[in-house]
Structure 1
Amino acid sequence: MKELEQVGPRLRAVRKAKGWTLDDLAEKAGMSASTLSRLESGKRQASLELLLPLTRQLGIRVDDLLPDEQRDPRVRRPVIRRDGLVIAPLAPEDAAVATYKITYPGGVEPKELRTHDGFEWLYVLSGRLRLRLGEQDLVLGKGEAAEFDTRIPHAISAAGGRPAQIISIFNAEGARMHTHGTD
């Protein structure tokens, strides 16, 4: 089991992070320094009998010495189509930051200015984007970015007759507003 191969090196890393020598930890855990050395180097099989006193002294759980379960890092969420927008999720649904690639259709006037709690950050991938923000009416081109407080009335649309693609990052309320509307 490859998981067990990582126990020794992880044990050593925790010990060293505490600034302890082999002798320090071995003495506190009631075992010989050579046993601990063999355990850390993988020359001795890890067992609960050996690990429990070590983890107690280090203030960690046995689970902390095992590798995290490898999860598939790919994001496989369906594209959302709403009000002419194509919204492709770029982060898992439970991610701390909501990240989307949004395509705004060309030739469509922006809706009325809206507000919601939070901040939004966006980056223009292609096309030209119109950002109405309070009294400002801005056009952003490819490679330009903007960050703003979403409590300021705002509306976003493609500028001109062509679509605009952006990467947009916002909080949970912003994600709900963009993916579900205000209903």
Structure 2
Amino acid sequence: MSERSDVPGGSRPQALAGLGDRIRRLRAARGLDRAALAAKLDLDAEYLGTVESGAATPSLDVLAQVAAALDVGLSELFTDTRPGPAAVVLRGDEVPTVESGGMSMQVLTPRAVIPGLYAARYRISPTSTAVRPVRHEGHDWLYVLSGRLHVEFEQDETTLRAGDSVSFSSRVPHRLSAMGAEPAEFLAVGATLLETRSGLSEP
């Protein structure tokens, strides 16, 4: 992947604080050097170094690929908060929003409260360039809140309207985009079966 959406350090959203350091620690914990992880992601190792140092922020689809390569949920890149036995409550005005390339995301599970599960709210503008075809381990369920969401698979595609939903194996390459003049807002819930987490997703 050569595309990136760098955000100058002074204007980086609070939600991204510590992102690079978490990527570095997760990489080291898996016995990967920077060059090895960069090769899995088709990224330049020097650029990955700037991400880990906090000097650059990749686009959200690249972060999704990073999470898949490190065998963690996307939400684990955004916080060190560990799940516990008690309920975790997120107030609406406390949920951080991450934006890049015409797409915004709110991680609704600070870190997988239930192992292997994540939930997020997305908003994609009609001109968004942030989402390119991705694939990773597990299964995804999308529920459209407003607008029209176009979902493209390798050999199929569908357009969803408010109230529609779709579920699919996320190992199938998929691309999301907004149809029409209005942004598409949707909820995404993903689950990775614990027995599938032992292997990394294909590059």
User: TM-score, with normalisation over the residues of structure 1?
Assistant: 0.50
Say yes or no: does 1:83 pair with 2:94.
no
Cα distance per residue 1:116-144 (max 9 Å; x no partner):
11111010000000000121121000000
Say yes or no: does 1:104 pair with 2:120.
no
Q: List gaps (5 residues or longer) in structure 1.
A: 1-67, 173-183
CA contact (8 A) 2:100 2:130 kept: no
Q: List gaps (5 residues or longer) in structure 2.
A: 1-83, 193-203
| Alignment match, 2:90 | 74
- Aligned AA (1:88): Q
Of 126, 141, 144, the match for 1:121: 141
Say how many residue pairs are matched.
107
Say yes or no: does 1:165 pair with 2:185.
yes
Percent of aligned pairs sharing the same letter:
25
Alignment of 1:21-60 (within 5 A): none
C-alpha change, 1:83 and 1:171, in structure 2 (3 Å) is farther
Q: Greater CA radius of gyration, 1 or 2?
A: 1
CA contact (8 A) 1:107 1:162 kept: no
Of 149, 153, 171, the match for 1:151: 171
C-alpha change, 1:72 and 1:155, in structure 2 (3 Å) is closer
CA distance in 2, matches of 1:111, 1:92: 22
Deviation at 1:70, TM superposition (A): 6.6
CA contact (8 A) 2:132 2:176 kept: no
Cα distance per residue 1:69-112 (max 9 Å; x no partner):
97662354421113321101222324222111100112346754
CA contact (8 A) 2:102 2:127 kept: no
CA contact (8 A) 2:122 2:187 kept: yes
**What's the secondary structure of 2:187's corresponding residue?**
strand
CA distance in 1, matches of 2:98, 2:90: 18
CA distance in 2, matches of 1:71, 1:112: 34
C-alpha change, 1:83 and 1:109, in structure 2 (3 Å) is closer
- Aligned AA (1:80): V
Greater helix share, structure number? 1
CA contact (8 A) 1:107 1:159 kept: no
User: TM-score, with normalisation over the residues of structure 2?
Assistant: 0.46
| Alignment match, 2:22 | none
CA contact (8 A) 2:102 2:129 kept: no
Cα distance per residue 1:44-87 (max 9 Å; x no partner):
xxxxxxxxxxxxxxxxxxxxxxxx99766235442111332110
Q: For the aligned residues, what is the CA RMSD?
A: 2.9
